[in-house]
């Protein structure tokens, strides 16, 4: 399912126009991004938790030359599914 398929499904489920569903989805994703950028976590009971994980610096290898390279520390978004979501797909 891609973004337009999700918008279609949301519009049908909520019985709203596709444009309203698209705005709602964009607002949802933007709100999560802003919260994560600000260092917050976003918990949606029954669905899951969005958070930011810290990745430590590490040594990697260039696949073409085999040369060791240093990969710097970084932050990456993370999602942990909630119990209701896990149970719903089984």
Domains in the chain: ranges and CATH: 3-88 (4.10.520.10)
The answer to whether residue 90 scores a pLDDT higher than 90 is no
Mean pLDDT of the chain: 95
CA 49 vs CA 44, 45, 77: distances in Å: 6, 8, 11
Mean local confidence (pLDDT), 52-80: 95
Nearest-angstrom CA–CA distance, 52 and 56: 13
User: So what's the pLDDT on residue 54?
Assistant: 95
The first and second tokens of residue 83, run together, are 């119990």
Q: 80: pLDDT confidence band, cut at 50, 70 and 90?
A: very high
Q: Rounded distance, CA 5 to CA 77, Å? A: 23
Phi, psi at residue 82, to the nearest 5°?
-80, 170
């Amino acid at each position: 399912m891609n973004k337009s398929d999700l918008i279609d499904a949301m519009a049908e489920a909520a019985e709203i126009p596709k444009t309203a569903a698209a705005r709602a989805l964009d607002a949802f994703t933007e709100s999560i991004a802003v919260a994560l950028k600000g260092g917050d976590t976003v918990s949606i009971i029954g669905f899951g938790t969005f958070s930011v994980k810290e990745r430590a610096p590490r040594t990697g290898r260039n696949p073409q030359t085999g040369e060791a390279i240093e990969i710097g520390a970084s932050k990456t978004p993370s999602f942990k599914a909630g119990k209701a979501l896990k149970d719903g797909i089984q």
